[in-house]
Amino acid sequence: MTSAMRWGRRTLGFSFFAQGAAFALLVTRIPAIQDQYGISDGLLPVFLAAVPILAGVSSVCTEQLVKRVRPSRMLRWAQPVVLLALLGVGAGDTMVEVAVALGAFGLAVGALDASMNMLGVSLQRAYGRSIMLGFHAAYSLGGIVGASVAWAGAHWDLTLFMSYLPVAAVLLPLCLIGSRWYVDARDGGAAEVEVEQGQAGGIVFKMLLPLCLVMAFAYIGDSTVSNWSAKYLQDVLGSSEQLSTVPYNVYMVMTLVGRAVGDVGVRRFGPVAVVRVGTVIAAGGFGVVAVAPGAWVGMLGFTLLGLGLCVIVPQTFAAAGRLFPGASDAAVARLNIFNYVGFLVGSPLVGALGDAWSYRGAMLVPMALVLVTLVYAPSFGKGGDRYGGGHERPRAVDVGPSGSGV
């Protein structure tokens, strides 16, 4: 294992952390954004939907751009744009200004998410063992920090700009400095880049489709928790307003715990087993939430959801890299689109079912969708680069100097 790889892993982990913090700062202050710009309840869903739609478009474009520009360079410049766009959201006072800032945020996030996971997949391949869950654990930690900063800003009645400024001022220079050590860890250097680009068109969508569906269903589950946990606990289970804010924080903490130890499970038992166990735990969490007699049992359900769902998304990206080892960048970019599909569908789906039927019943729908992962679990073990249960490669590949272009 080279020093370049070790630094590449650390700096990429920090990039995941920074992205988790930035995204949490945006989504946890949506009511404040709505108040600052006078966005009506009818218009708010349009603004919120625009972000994942633009992110999906950007992910598609990133697949084409990385044929000419290394993912490390894409990440180097996308991350500062995300942070600056976040500041822009907090700094404006007209509808046009927030529309431009959110548009820039969405476009940059799509390129950022795609390039981060491209680097993670290629670095895992070079390491020869599962490390993707560790990167996503850093994202969860960033989300917890970002949500805590957002809570402090709301508690002290700070403006959005003053809440966002210290975070951006710290993270932006650190991300730029850290980007010098990003590693495009393709085993064969420039020759393999050409091969990967040449094989990108050989991705068979039928082979990738199971992973795309799993990704979408996992994010439907995730968006259900992020958008409806507080309302469900308060309106359905009769909790206090203060207690209703706890489930999402517990959920995020459990995603951090699950991802922090998940790589060990993948190395020991393999990705298929870990995904199956995570799926069963997540489905059980939705079941507990649906039948919970009170708030504390409901929180137990959301705790199980965090522990179960947290392993699925990182392993889905890793499985795409194993399934298409000669075109992993393209596979990750295409798979990343379904991240936003799930995020876009989840919240309105549960809301519509809750209004038309019941919110208890609505929780059974994401449960059923998550259970579909059990059908597609064998897809996580396909490809010749499996990890766990004796399948780890004995030593890492020397990728040479950093491919960040510095």
Instruction: Specify the DSSP element, H or E, that contains 65.
Output: helix 44-65
Q: So where are the chain's domains?
A: 1-185, 203-389
Q: What is the pLDDT of residue 197?
A: 47
The answer to whether residue 212 scores a pLDDT higher than 60 is: yes
What tens digit of pLDDT does each residue of 145-199 get? Answer: 998 898 888 889 999 999 999 999 999 999 999 999 999 865 433 334 444 444 4
CA 274 – CA 372 distance, rounded (Å): 15
- pLDDT band, very low/low/confident/very high, at 380 (cuts 50, 70, 90): very high
Report d(CA 135, CA 244) in Å as an integer: 29
- Residue 108, judged by CB atoms within 10 A of its CB (0-12, 13-18, 19+), counts as buried
Looking at residue 241, what is its pLDDT?
75
Q: In the structure, what pLDDT confidence band is assigned to residue 1 with cuts at 50, 70 and 90? A: low
pLDDT of residue 402: 33
402: left (phi over 0), alpha (psi -120 to 50) or beta: beta
Say how far apart CA 155 and CA 337 lie, in whole Å: 35
Q: Which residue has the tokens 């990750």?
A: 332
Q: Closest Cα partner for 222 from 146, 150, 302, 162?
A: 302
Angle at 204 between CA 114 and CA 341, to 5 degrees: 45
Q: Is 207 left (phi over 0), alpha (psi -120 to 50) or beta?
A: alpha
**Residue 55 in contact with residue 107, Cβ under 8 Å?**
yes
pLDDT band at 202 (very low <50, low <70, confident <90, very high): low
In terms of Cβ atoms closer than 10 Å to its own Cβ (0-12, 13-18, 19+), residue 273 is: middle
CA distance linking residue 291 with residue 237, whole number of Å = 10
User: CATH says 1-185 is which class?
Assistant: mainly alpha
Cα-only R_g, the chain: 20
Whether the predicted pLDDT of 404 surpasses 50: no
Of 336, 338, 395, the C-alpha closest to 369 is 338
Q: How do residues 221-259 score in pLDDT, each as one tens digit?
A: 999 998 889 889 988 999 887 788 788 889 999 999 999
225-229, 325-329, 365-369: which is most confident: 365-369
| pLDDT tens-digit series, residues 13-49 | 999 999 999 999 998 888 889 889 999 988 988 888 8
Residue 301 corresponds to which amino acid? G
pLDDT band, residue 95 (cuts 50/70/90): very high
Instruction: Answer whether residue 396 shows pLDDT above 60.
Output: no
Q: What is the pLDDT of residue 179?
A: 95
What pLDDT is attached to residue 186? 58
pLDDT at 354 over 70: yes
Same fold for the pair 1-185 and 203-389: yes
d(CA 342, CA 334): 14
pLDDT tens for each residue of 55-76? 999 999 999 999 899 999 999 9
pTM for the whole thing?
0.88
CA distance 380 to 271: 6
Tell me what percent of the residues of the chain surpass a pLDDT of 70: 89
Level-2 CATH architecture, domain 203-389? Up-down Bundle (1.20)
Across residues 104-117, what is the average pLDDT?
A: 97
Coil, helix or strand at residue 69? coil
Stretch 313-329: mean pLDDT: 92
What is the pLDDT, as a whole number, of residue 85? 97
